[in-house]
Structure 1
Amino acid sequence: YAYSLKTQLNDKEKLGGKLSSDDKEKIEKAVEEQIKWLESNPAADVDELKEHKKALEEIVTPIMTKLYGQQGGAGAGGSPPPPHGHDDDSL
């Protein structure tokens, strides 16, 4: 999830070109922190991974909801699709 977000943020044609500079900076900082944690904790258990993914989602989800809401992509009461269909528990 974190690596997918990083790729999308760097793509000016996709997510990277649609976010405000403040929102992009918030997501980039959160993604970098999670990637550093992942690289420092290769033996982390599933619960730790889920906890860190949830922390990242708590930052990303409101921004994505706002973005897709502005574009009309989420629909009434809907939530934005996960980046590149990554809806599993992997960070």
Structure 2
Amino acid sequence: MGHINIKLADLIFEKGKSKNKVCYHCEVQRTQLNNYCNNKVSRVDLALMARVCEYLDCDISAILEYVSDEEDLNAKETKESEAAEEEKKD
């Protein structure tokens, strides 16, 4: 079974916002925002996601992404082969 990847940290950076501003405008505690940024939530607060989408002027798909097991496995294999190539260079 695949999983949901939360891309909030990247989006905040791309939009040029600070976590402090997001916390203030979206009425969320810093700890909770950090949990979203670090993919450490098991239940997504849809009201919070709506506030974040409004503040960052984005669609929910810019924040949440479904990753299938196959995509996850392919990404892992790619990282491992890149690491092996780097070791060969050294």
Do they superpose with TM above 0.5? Answer: no
What TM-score comes out, normalization by structure 2 length?
A: 0.36
Indicate the structure (1 or 2) with the bigger Cα radius of gyration.
2
- The answer to which structure has the higher strand fraction is 2
Please report the TM-score for the alignment, with normalisation by the length of structure 1.
0.36
Q: Which has the higher contact order (CA 8 A, sep 6+)?
A: 2
